[in-house]
Chains A and B, each alone.
Chain A
């Protein structure tokens, strides 16, 4: 209402000014000259022009957007405020060019900018509205085309002006419209993605990925534009203060998009490669509802190392935000690789042949016996890598038993499948802490500590390999050991006992005093060895030769020396295999 009043008054004033001029001069050209010479008249005309723009804006808004939502309006006001301040700052740089035409161009820029913002908000709204009418599509498409064409026109205009007349304020306009056209492209891509999603019958998993990459690419283009603009401005005029705020936000957004892409890629890679698909039994047990979308999980769900199950697509979009388990906040990027075979014992029991139980029932108590032992002991016996095994010559000296371990996978009878570890998550051991007294180290030592030259990296890889070899050896030990115990002792418990969970098994069964002391660390460490190993290799099967070997070994309870020798030989063997598998 107030706006109507103002525009009416303005229109009245304009009419009076024009009528007065015409009344005094009686002819067209003298009247025009009269008006342009008179400051009050010009002021009235400027106000009229401004109100004209305002009315045009309202009209366009009605055509392209209909009624604005409250949030859209608030957004618009907030952004306009910043844009006006920045425009005022820009005026200070170009005070020599300060002409009505200049003001008009800036007004036009602001005018077009506001429509870009509105279009952006409107397209974001697509995701929120249950009903998108055809009118919406027509409006958005025509608006995007119009804005794109206008932006392009002004860019070309600015370019030609700069080429023919040299650098001027047109530089700023060219740059601003270039930024705006990236906005139009961004909105267009989002619109296309949302439309495809709306029209598809099933949820579109990859949309979030596309959005993420769009954000990244557009952010990069904008950052380049801003940097180029600032460099040019500094060389020709002065520091463009008015561009700093948007530049700061652009760079920040780009940085965020970049780290989002990196982290989510890592998390999603982990998810795709390491985490097992949930089995129907597990889904049943987890009451079948994905906690992220509150919808039923039928297919395509993944189990995290913490045993929480989600839709693969839901997890993927969550990992783009954060790399934690939504339920228990386990940081999955900091968690060691989970075992791929830690299925629920009940589910596992249905799948394995009967012979398995013999092994499992007998071997069961012992692995769990060590579960509660402090990690320090594991570390003391296994973790220090010691001297790296030499590669040359040791292959020839490796005993046949060791060879069988590596090569016999294909011929092994299935009943000797290694029993999977049923306890859910014993590997959440944090990575070793850095030396506590970092402050005591000198600058030089610190630099050495984090050195990134080639030999440092190589040394690290070497160290990791050594650890892996040790862990592999521990797994082998454990396998032999469990097989051996299975051979020695008849099963003492019915197979049903294994269906209970690991805690029950751990608590209820008394530890036997059978194993030799040298084998204990290997047993307890085998869980983490399994963790490191599982992503590359299927459960290892054992040939009869190794079993015999293992039996004789565990029969000989006092010969720890023999066991250690054996272990060392196997380490060497494993190490060689690793060398072959992963050149570099």
Chain B
């Protein structure tokens, strides 16, 4: 009998492929190892990350779902809750007991009730609404608070980079989309 972690990951993968949430694709990097996943997250509409497609990798511990997975963006991303190396810092990914920032209530922490889908959805809402108290990226948090337009500009550059298109055509595309 395969491990319970593996069975649960398989079940979640099946669920995600049958019933994918909007704007999110996720699955194992290769079918031999269900403990390394890749995810593609589209930037939420109406935010400065709109239109971007952000790749990330999820690493699951052997005792998943008793312990949370780790998540790391594999592209450049500038966000108050994401470390500069791409690691995501949100409470759902922390087990109660380890609190790197010291302010999260245990109610939002990891428990087996959570799932890959819930993690990815929280990451999407984190993209939309950064928690600028988190110190994961202090520069980004400061800029988010004090110089929103500069923040948006950087976000737009990053969005453009994830799509691999130069700035002007991208703007044209967006303008066309707005008109139609």
Q: What residues make up the interface of A, taking CB atoms closer than 8 Å to B?
A: 69, 71, 124, 127-131, 197-204, 291-295, 314, 317-318, 320-322, 324, 326-327, 329
Contacts and interface: CB of A to CB of B under 8 A. Distances in A.
Given A129-B32, A130-B2, A292-B65, A326 B113 contact: yes
Q: Identify which of A69, A124, A128, A295 gathers the most chain B CB atoms within 10 Å of its CB.
A: A128
B96 A127 contact: no
A292 B110 CA distance: 12
Contacts of A128: 3, 5-6, 33-35, 60, 62
B113 A291 contact: yes
A321 B112 CA distance: 11
B4 A326 contact: no
B66 interface: yes
A203 B4 contact: yes
Contact of A201 (B1, B11, B65, B112): B1
Contacts, number: 78
B111 interface: yes
Contacts of B96: 322, 324, 329
Contact of B112 (A127, A198, A291): A291
A176 to B, nearest CB: 27
A442 B107 CA distance: 37
Chain A contact residues, majority secondary structure: loop
Contact of B8 (A124, A200, A294, A327): A294
Interface string B99-137: 000000011000111000000000000000000000000
A293 B1 contact: no
B1 A197 contact: yes
B59 interface: yes
B17 to A, nearest CB: 15
Given A326-B111, A326-B112, A294 B11 contact: yes
Given A128-B35, A130-B32, A294-B12, A198 B4 contact: no
Q: Identify which of A200, A203, A294 gathers the most chain B CB atoms within 10 Å of its CB.
A: A294
B6 A295 contact: no
A317 B59 contact: no
A506 to B, nearest CB: 27
B157 interface: no
Given A129-B33, A317-B63, 14 more contacts: A69-B33, A124-B62, A130-B32, A130-B34, A202-B1, A203-B1, A292-B65, A292-B112, A293-B7, A295-B11, A321-B67, A324-B96, A326-B112, A327-B113
A295 B97 CA distance: 27
15 contacts: A127-B5, A127-B62, A128-B34, A128-B35, A129-B33, A130-B2, A198-B1, A199-B1, A203-B4, A204-B1, A292-B66, A293-B7, A314-B112, A318-B66, A326-B112
A318 B62 contact: no
A201 B62 CA distance: 20
Contacts of B5: 127-128
Contacts of A204: 1
B91 to A, nearest CB: 13
A428 to B, nearest CB: 16
Q: Identify which of A201, A324, A326, A327 gathers the most chain B CB atoms within 10 Å of its CB.
A: A326
Q: Identify which of A129, A131, A197, A327 gathers the most chain B CB atoms within 10 Å of its CB.
A: A129
A197 to B, nearest CB: 6
A329 B65 contact: no
B66 A197 contact: no
Cβ-closest 10 pairs across A and B: A292-B112, A127-B3, A128-B35, A127-B62, A326-B112, A294-B11, A326-B111, A321-B66, A291-B113, A293-B4
B59 A71 contact: yes
A559 to B, nearest CB: 51
Contacts of A320: 66
A361 to B, nearest CB: 38
Contacts of B65: 292-293
A317 B1 contact: no
Given A127-B5, A203-B1, A327 B111 contact: yes
A200 B2 CA distance: 9
